Amino acid sequence: MSSTTSQTQRVVLFTEHDPLVLESGETIALVEVAYATYGVLADDRSNVVYVCHALTGDANVSGEDGWWSTLIGPGRPIDTDRFFVICSNLLGGCNGTTGPSSIDPKTGKPYGLSFPLFTVRDLVTVHRALLAQLGIERPAAAIGGSVGGMQVLQWMLDFPGELGAAAVVCASARLTAQNIAFSAVARAAIMEDVNFHGGDYYEHGVRPDRGLSLARRIAHITYLSEQSMRQKFGRRLQHGDAPHRGFEVDFAVESYLEHQGESFLHRFDANSYLYLTRVMDYFDPFGDLAGAVERLRGSGTHTLVISFDTDWRFDTAHSREIVHALQAARLPVTFREIASPHGHDSFLLEVPEYHRTVAAFFGRLTSAPRAV
């Protein structure tokens, strides 16, 4: 089987006559989704792997410049010579899928903050609509890291047994107060930017760049570990051997964060950032644990849960909570805490034991009878 990589394509999944009905009951009349596929769909459609991306990802998951090309591609742990991989940009995003920066057909202007609030469940609704459009009923597996893992978990809860297998990497079923606090400060940076204009910055011809860049810098600190920052930068100075002793960038870590903030502006919309972080804050699928366990019971989806020992954004306790609920529902669960110095970012990096684990789990998928 030869591997083929698709360019990102766009498809309209919901229209005025058949709108997207959100969990809240609100509707979105026109929803277009950007997605990409990799590999060849088997005749019996049994080799589909759906990738749910994290906060700032896009459909471009594999191939050159793919954000997860270390994990997904020909000969990679999720081998596109065997699997047909689909990845779509999230609802509310800004990389080809309808979101707050899209034009509201009712007004002819960008939605801004009039875009309805949505939930992780709504993200899954759109994924499944894309699959239906492609004629696929039951993916062999779904995988996601961070908020991607939240989508996989919600998928399992809302459609028990639909996923043949699931991989939930450094995710959370419930943000802590500390997690929400970081999100809140990041959002405040955007909303308090003088160029925010209540979310309608598009028509003012400006963008809340300072706020968005600051939000990204704050978040980026939580993606790294103390250990990795120490290794990468330590107290190294950006220019020369002597400190400049002023308030400009002086330490290497300051320059790095500034660069992270700046480069983010080219690829992300501030309103999408607000909506997608808020989606995470409200996610609480085990709020009614007994109900969730009851829904999951007997669904049989073998689930791989992975955490990283230096991840302090969603530490191992978050993954353990997910494992505990799945075990209570008698699902086959495989769990590893992987040693990695890279903090939350580990899920995007080539951590050998992590990749071996994913390779072993996915290698088993198309050959095995399902162990229930």
Partner 1 sequence: MRSDLALTAGLVPHGSRVLDLGCGDGALLAHLIEQRGCSGQGVEISDEGVLACITAGVPVEQGDIDDGLDEFDPDSFDVVVLSQTLQTTHRPASVLDGMLRVAPASIVSIPNFAHWRLRAGLALGGRMPSSRTLPATWYGTPNIHLCTIADFEELATARGARLIERILLDEGGEPTRSRVVAARPNVLAAGAIYRLGRA
Residues designated as active site: 146, 311, 344
> Cα 212 to the chain's mean position, in Å?
18
Longest CA span, the chain: 66
Q: Write out the binding residues for partner 1, residues 135-194 only, by CB under 8 A.
A: none
Among 302, 313, 318, 342, binds partner 1 (CB under 8 A): 302
Tell me if 372 contacts partner 1 by CB under 8 A.
Answer: yes
Interaction mask 324-343, partner 1, x per CB under 8 A: x--xx-x-xxxxxx------
Q: Give ∠ CA 278-216-259 in degrees, rounded to 5.
A: 165
Q: Write out the binding residues for partner 1, residues 349-368 only, by CB under 8 A.
A: 353, 356-357, 360-361, 363-364, 368
State residue 204 phi and psi, 5-degree precision: -90, 0
Tell me if 317 contacts partner 1 by CB under 8 A.
Answer: no
Residue 185 or 360 with smaller CB distance to partner 1: 360
Helix axes 120-133, 270-282, angle to 10 degrees: 110
Residue 59 or 171 with smaller CB distance to partner 1: 171
Cα–Cα distance, 263 to 279 (Å, whole number): 24
Range in contact with partner 1 (rule: CB under 8 A) among 26-34, 197-205, 270-278, 322-330: 322-330
Q: Which amino acid is present at 108?
A: G
- Residues touching partner 1, count (CB under 8 A): 25
**Smallest gap, in angstroms, from Cβ of residue 302 to partner 1?**
7
**Smallest gap, in angstroms, from Cβ of residue 298 to partner 1?**
10
Residue 13 or 169 with smaller CB distance to partner 1: 169
Tell me if 268 contacts partner 1 by CB under 8 A.
Answer: no
Sites of contact with partner 1 (CB under 8 A): 302, 304, 320, 323-324, 327-328, 330, 332-337, 353, 356-357, 360-361, 363-364, 368-369, 371-372
